């Protein structure tokens, strides 16, 4: 057996390692199967210490961001919790946290880029994003020089910056529309010759990269947690945590009970709540104004991978999970409290997860002595701005989501920029 194989969870057939779907047409998220049955960290930098459980054959040595897990004191004391661990994904030098985009999307970008490099695939990678994922892929492409097409909603362009002065590997296109419009347009472009999609939730490298949050937490705690909290848009981060926990149970050294997933969305733009409840009349119904006025619109995805085999529904059912609807006021209060007590700034999306934890404590959903992992999916941006120069990524063009020629115009612009 090679280091890993990619399989369909329905038929168990081995798929091409870069495949995004089962060759037999099954509606399922493919999964990696690793030769290494136990979690033994390698003496490698950053995320690459989890090399044995990442679908790569090499590493990007300059891409070294990783989760830093620590036991909370001040915030845990405020909530009356005795076993709360923070999985911090961001920039915080005192904690040796060095995600230089201040988001855990770095964990997706590094292994995804490495798989592309291993295939010697010189096609232009296409990434649709509401901001954080785009920033992460921009960072790694500036490191590797891999050409990148970013397609983002116009209102998200302010989130696009990098520590690299030279942004020549990046072509940034802003779209008059929302994240879903950007996804559709990016998908159309990616289907053209010379382009390749990064794959979204269907990409095993992205999910296994995000799964290292759980791996790092378990190495620190020496056990699987009872509860795992995270704010989600598509829910892919929750799926990743579940898949990582399944591998850890098979390892046999950290426990045999799956952590309960606690996923949080920002009301009223919370489609996963409606899908999970099965009742379109619930308060989780998506407002037609979404993602306008969200606390953080990176948490909005109109079509999350919910019902697909191995998707959000399966992850919640397998773990006895819950979904929380958090309004802006609760998120703002949670952010202020966390930042005061833990003494580090966090991204608004992470505040939604903090608010969900606070709600669970208030309602008695979790016990005071339960072991808990709170995924802070991004933070340290204020600190990073003090310590480093940030360079904005300037848009190369602007298109309308309703322009029938938009995808062709983008392809022409990319060809012009990269002289293809």
pLDDT value at 261 more than 90: yes
Q: Give the pLDDT confidence of 352-381 residue by residue, as tens digits.
A: 999 999 999 999 999 999 999 999 999 999
Lowest mean pLDDT among 183-192, 281-290, 355-364: 281-290
**Phi–psi pair at 55, nearest 5 degrees:** -80, 60
What contacts 402, CB < 8 A, 6 or more positions away?
Answer: 176, 177
Residue among 2, 61, 83 nearest 14 (CA): 2
pTM: 0.95
Are residues 87 and 213 in contact, defined by beta-carbon separation less than 8 angstroms?
yes
Lowest mean pLDDT among 8-12, 44-48, 84-88, 196-200: 196-200
Q: What is the pLDDT of residue 133?
A: 93
CA torsion sign for 188, 193, 195, 197 is: positive
What residue spans define the domains of the chain?
A: 68-103+206-384, 124-193+390-418
Cα separation, 342 vs 74, whole angstroms: 6
Q: Identical fold at 68-103+206-384 and 124-193+390-418?
A: yes
Are residues 177 and 157 in contact, defined by beta-carbon separation less than 8 angstroms?
no
Q: CA dist 388 to 165, 384, 417, Å?
A: 12, 6, 28
Q: What is the pLDDT of residue 332?
A: 98
Q: What is the pLDDT of residue 120?
A: 86
Q: What is the pLDDT of residue 284?
A: 44
pLDDT value at 281 more than 50: no
Q: SS3 of 126, please?
A: strand
How many Cβ atoms are within 10 Å of 382's Cβ, its own excluded?
13
Cα separation, 282 vs 279, whole angstroms: 6
Are residues 321 and 261 in contact, defined by beta-carbon separation less than 8 angstroms?
yes
State the average pLDDT over residues 85-99: 97
The DSSP call for residue 308 is: S
Q: SS3 of 275, please?
A: helix
CATH of domain 124-193+390-418: 3.40.50
Q: What is the pLDDT of residue 287?
A: 74
CATH of domain 68-103+206-384: 3.40.50.1100
Q: Where are the beta strands (DSSP E) in 155-245?
A: 161-162, 170-176, 195-197, 227-231
pLDDT value at 282 more than 50: no
Over the chain, what is the mean pLDDT? 94
């Amino acid at each position: 057996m090679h280091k890993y194989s990619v399989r369909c969870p329905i038929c168990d057939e081995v798929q091409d390692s870069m495949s995004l779907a089962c060759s037999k047409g099954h509606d399922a998220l493919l999964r990696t199967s690793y030769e290494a049955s136990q979690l033994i960290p390698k003496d490698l930098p950053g995320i690459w210490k989890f090399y044995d459980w990442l679908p790569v054959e090499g590493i990007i040595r300059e891409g070294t961001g990783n989760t830093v897990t620590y036991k909370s004191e001040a915030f845990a004391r405020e909530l009356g919790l005795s076993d709360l661990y923070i999985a911090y994904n961001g920039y915080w030098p005192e904690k040796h946290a060095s995600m230089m985009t201040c988001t855990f999307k770095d964990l997706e970008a590094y292994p995804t880029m490495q798989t592309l490099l291993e295939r010697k695939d010189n096609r232009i990678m296409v990434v649709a994003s509401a901001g954080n994922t785009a920033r992460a892929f921009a960072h790694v492409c500036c490191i590797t020089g891999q050409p990148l097409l970013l397609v983002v909603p116009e209102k998200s362009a302010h989130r696009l910056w990098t520590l690299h002065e030279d942004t020549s590997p990046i072509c940034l296109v802003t779209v008059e529309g929302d994240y879903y419009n950007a996804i559709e347009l990016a998908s159309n472009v990616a289907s053209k010759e010379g382009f390749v999609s990064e794959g979204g939730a269907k990409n095993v490298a992205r999910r296994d990269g995000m799964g290292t949050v759980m791996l790092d937490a378990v190495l620190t705690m020496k056990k699987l947690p009872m509860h795992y909290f995270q704010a989600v848009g598509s829910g892919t981060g929750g799926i990743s945590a579940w898949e990582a926990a399944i591998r850890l149970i098979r390892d046999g050294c950290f426990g045999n009970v799956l952590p309960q997933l606690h996923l949080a969305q920002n009301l009223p733009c919370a489609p996963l709540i409606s899908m999970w409840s099965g009742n379109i009349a619930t308060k989780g119904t998506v407002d037609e104004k979404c993602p306008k006025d969200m606390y953080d619109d990176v948490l909005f995805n109109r079509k999350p991978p919910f019902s697909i085999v191995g998707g959000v529904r399966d992850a919640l059912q397998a773990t006895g999970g819950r979904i929380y609807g958090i309004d802006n006021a609760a998120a703002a209060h949670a952010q202020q409290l966390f930042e005061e007590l833990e003494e580090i700034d966090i991204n608004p999306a992470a505040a939604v997860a903090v608010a969900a934890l606070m709600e669970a404590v208030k309602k008695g959903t979790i016990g005071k002595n339960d072991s808990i992992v709170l995924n802070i999916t991004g933070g340290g941006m204020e600190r990073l701005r003090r310590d480093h120069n940030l360079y904005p990524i300037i848009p190369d063009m602007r298109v309308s989501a309703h322009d029938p020629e938009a995808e062709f115009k983008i392809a022409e612009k990319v060809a012009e920029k990269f002289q293809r």
